Chain A
Amino acid sequence: MTAATTAKPAKLPREEDPRNPHHRLAALLDEGSLELITEDDLSGMLSAIGTVGGTKVVAFCSDPTVMGGAMGHDGCKAVVAAYERAMLEQVPIIGLWHSGGARLAEGVLSLHAVGEIFHAMTKASGRIPQISVVLGPAAGGAAYGPALTDIVILGPEGRIFVTGPDVVRSVTGEDVDMLRLGGPEPHGRRSGVVHVLTESEAEAIGRARTLAQLLGNQGTLVLDQVEDIDLARSLPESVRRAYDVHPLVDDLLDDGDVVELHARWAPNITTTLGRLGGRTVGVIANNPLRLGGCLDSLSAEKASRFVRMCDAFGVPLVVVVDVPGYLPGVGQEWDGVVRRGAKLLHAFGEATVPRVTLVTRKSYGGAYIAMNSRSLGATRVLAWPGAVVAVMGAVAAVRILHRRRIAEVEPDIRPQVEAELAAEHEKIAGGVEKAVEIGVVDEIVEPAHSRRRIAESIAAELAYPPVRGQHGNIPL
Chain B
Amino acid sequence: MAQETQIVAEMVANVWKIVAEEGQALTAGDTVVILESMKMEIPVLAEQDGTVTDVRVHEGDVVQEGDVLAVLS
A292-B40 in contact (CB<8A): yes
Q: Indicate with 1 or 0, residue by residue over A313-345, a CB within 8 angstroms of chain B CB atoms.
A: 000000000001101010100000000000000
B41 touches A241 (CB 8 A): yes
| A242→B11 contact, CB < 8 A | no
Query: B12 at interface (Cβ–Cβ under 8 A)?
Result: yes
Query: With A327-B11, A329-B12, A331-B65 in contact, is A292–B38 under 8 Å at CB?
Result: yes
- Contact indicator A294/B38 (Cβ below 8 Å): yes
Q: Assess whether B37 is interfacial by the CB under 8 Å rule.
A: yes
Cβ A324 vs Cβ B40 within 8 A: yes
- A290-B10, A292-B11, A329-B12 are known contacts. Are A324 and B38 too (CB-CB below 8 A)? yes
Instruction: Take A291-B10, A331-B65 as given contacts and tell me if A393 and B42 are in contact as well, using a CB distance cutoff of 8 Å.
Output: no
Are B65 and A240 in contact, CB atoms less than 8 angstroms apart? no
Which A residues lie within 8 Å of B39 (CB)?
240, 324, 393, 396
**What distance in Å separates the Cβ of B55 from its nearest Cβ neighbour in chain A?**
20
Q: How far is the CA of A291 from the CA of B9 in the complex (A)?
A: 9
Say yes or no: A292 contacts B12, CB within 8 Å.
no
User: Once the chains are docked, how many angstroms separate the CA of A331 from the CA of B43?
Assistant: 22
The B-contacting residues of A in range 236-257, CB under 8 angstroms, are: 238, 240-242
Q: Count of B residues near A, CB < 8 Å? A: 12
Query: In the bound complex, how far is the Cα of B39 from the Cα of A291, in angstroms?
Result: 11
Smallest Cβ distance from B46 to chain A, in angstroms?
13
Which residues of the other chain, A, contact B43 by a CB distance below 8 angstroms? 241-242, 289
How many A residues have CB within 8 A of the partner chain? 18
A289 to B11, CA, bound (A): 12
B42 surroundings in chain A (CB, below 8 A): 242, 288-289, 291-292
Interface string of B1-31 (1 = CB under 8 A from A): 0000000001110000000000000000000
How many angstroms from the CA of A329 to the CA of B38 in the assembled complex? 12
- Considering residues B10, B38, B45, B65, which has the most beta carbons from chain A within 10 angstroms of its beta carbon? B38
Residues of A within 8 A of B12 (CB): 329
Which residue in A238, A241, A292, A393 is a CB contact (below 8 Å) of B37? Answer: A292
Complex CA gap A290/B43 in Å reads 9
- Residues A241 and B40 in contact, CB atoms below 8 Å apart: yes
What residue of chain A has the Cβ atom nearest to residue B45's Cβ? A289
A window 290-317: CB within 8 A of B: 290-294
Closest to A288 in B: B40
In this complex, what residue of B is CB-closest to A393?
B39
Bound-state CA distance A331–B65 (Å) is 10
Report chain B residues within 8 Å CB of A293. 40
Chain B residues positioned under 8 Å from A329 (CB to CB): 12
Q: Would B10 and A238 count as touching, CB distance under 8 A?
A: no
**How far is A463 from B37 in the complex, measured between Cα atoms in Å?**
43
Taking CB atoms and an 8 Å cut-off, the chain A residues in 216-238 that contact chain B are 238
- Quote the shortest CB–CB distance from B36 to chain A (angstroms): 9
A240 to B41, Cβ gap below 8 A? yes
Query: Which residues of A have CB within 8 Å of B40?
Result: 240-242, 288, 292-293, 324
Residue of A nearest to B11 (CB): A291
Spell out B's residues near A (CB within 8 Å): 10-12, 37-43, 45, 65
6 tightest A-B CB contacts, nearest first: A292-B38, A242-B42, A324-B38, A292-B40, A241-B41, A242-B40
Beyond A291-B42, A292-B11, 15 additional contacts (C-beta under 8 Å) are A241-B43, A242-B42, A242-B43, A288-B40, A290-B10, A291-B10, A292-B37, A292-B38, A292-B40, A324-B38, A324-B40, A325-B38, A327-B11, A393-B39, A396-B39
Q: List 13 A-B contacts (CB under 8 A).
A: A240-B41, A242-B41, A288-B40, A289-B43, A289-B45, A291-B11, A292-B38, A292-B40, A324-B38, A324-B39, A329-B12, A331-B65, A393-B39
